[in-house]
């Protein structure tokens, strides 16, 4: 299975949306932060709205917000809402991948992989991904603070050292 930019960008954009403290969020802001084309985001969010993953808010201060709680949205929901197929078979599950349009000998293997991937993506909520990102940001911020503290201590020590 190859996850295309459609599925990856949809997950990225919704993660960005879910991490914003204020709602609604303008697509132009997501576009700028995530370096995704605004017109591409508009296409994705139209599908996400039809899939009842996001709601749109019109007017000044409008934009998009999540239609459901982040704990209720799985990565599979997002990917399937933008018409991203989760399919490793050559035949798109039609069982006409083999000789004479019959099921090929590896069809069941790839179909099983599809189920495993889909089950995995269904088991990951947008909330879990948000939590992971916030944890990574906290660790990064804590590391930066430690580095700044050490640098200040070193610079103070250098000032206190008398030349010999």
Tell whether the model's pLDDT for residue 46 goes beyond 60.
yes
The set of residues, in sequence order, having a beta carbon less than 8 Å from that of 57 and lying 6+ positions away, is 23, 24, 63, 64, 65
Cis peptide upstream of residue 24 (ω within 30 degrees of 0): yes
Q: What is the rounded distance in angstroms from the CA atom of residue 113 to the CA atom of residue 40? A: 29
User: What whole-number percentage of the chain has pLDDT above 70?
Assistant: 94
Predicted confidence band at 49 (pLDDT cuts at 50, 70, 90)? very high
Q: Which of 28-37, 88-97, 109-118 has the highest mean pLDDT?
A: 28-37
User: In this predicted model, which residue has the larger pLDDT, 7 or 148?
Assistant: 7
List domains and CATH numbers for the chain. 5-85+125-133 (1.10.10.10)
Nearest to 114 by CA among 91, 88, 79: 88
Q: For the residues of 86-101, what is the DSSP string, one character each?
A: ---SSSTTSS--SGGG
Q: What is the rounded distance in angstroms from the CA atom of residue 125 to the CA atom of residue 128? A: 5
Range 81-105 average pLDDT: 82
Computed over its alpha carbons, how large is the radius of gyration of the chain? 23
pLDDT at 94: 83
- The pTM is what? 0.79
Q: What is the rounded distance in angstroms from the CA atom of residue 57 to the CA atom of residue 24? A: 7
Predicted confidence band at 131 (pLDDT cuts at 50, 70, 90)? very high
36-50, 75-89, 150-164: the lowest-pLDDT one: 150-164
Tell whether the model's pLDDT for residue 163 goes beyond 90.
no
């Amino acid at each position: 299975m190859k996850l295309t930019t459609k599925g990856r960008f949809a997950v990225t954009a919704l993660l960005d949306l879910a991490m914003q403290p204020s709602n609604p969020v303008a697509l132009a802001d997501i576009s700028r932060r995530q370096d995704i084309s605004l017109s591409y985001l508009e296409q994705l969010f139209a599908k996400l709205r039809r899939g009842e993953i996001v709601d749109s808010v019109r007017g000044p201060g409008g934009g998009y917000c999540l239609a459901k709680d982040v704990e209720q949205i799985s990565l599979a929901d997002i990917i399937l809402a933008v018409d991203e197929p989760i399919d490793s078979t050559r035949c798109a599950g039609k069982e006409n991948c083999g000789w004479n349009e019959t099921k090929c000998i590896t069809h069941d293997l790839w179909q099983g992989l599809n189920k495993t991937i889909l089950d995995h993506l269904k088991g990951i909520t947008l909330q879990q991904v948000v939590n992971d990102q916030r944890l990574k940001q906290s660790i990064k911020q804590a590391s930066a603070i430690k580095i700044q503290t050490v640098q200040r201590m070193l610079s103070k020590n250098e000032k206190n050292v008398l030349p010999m």
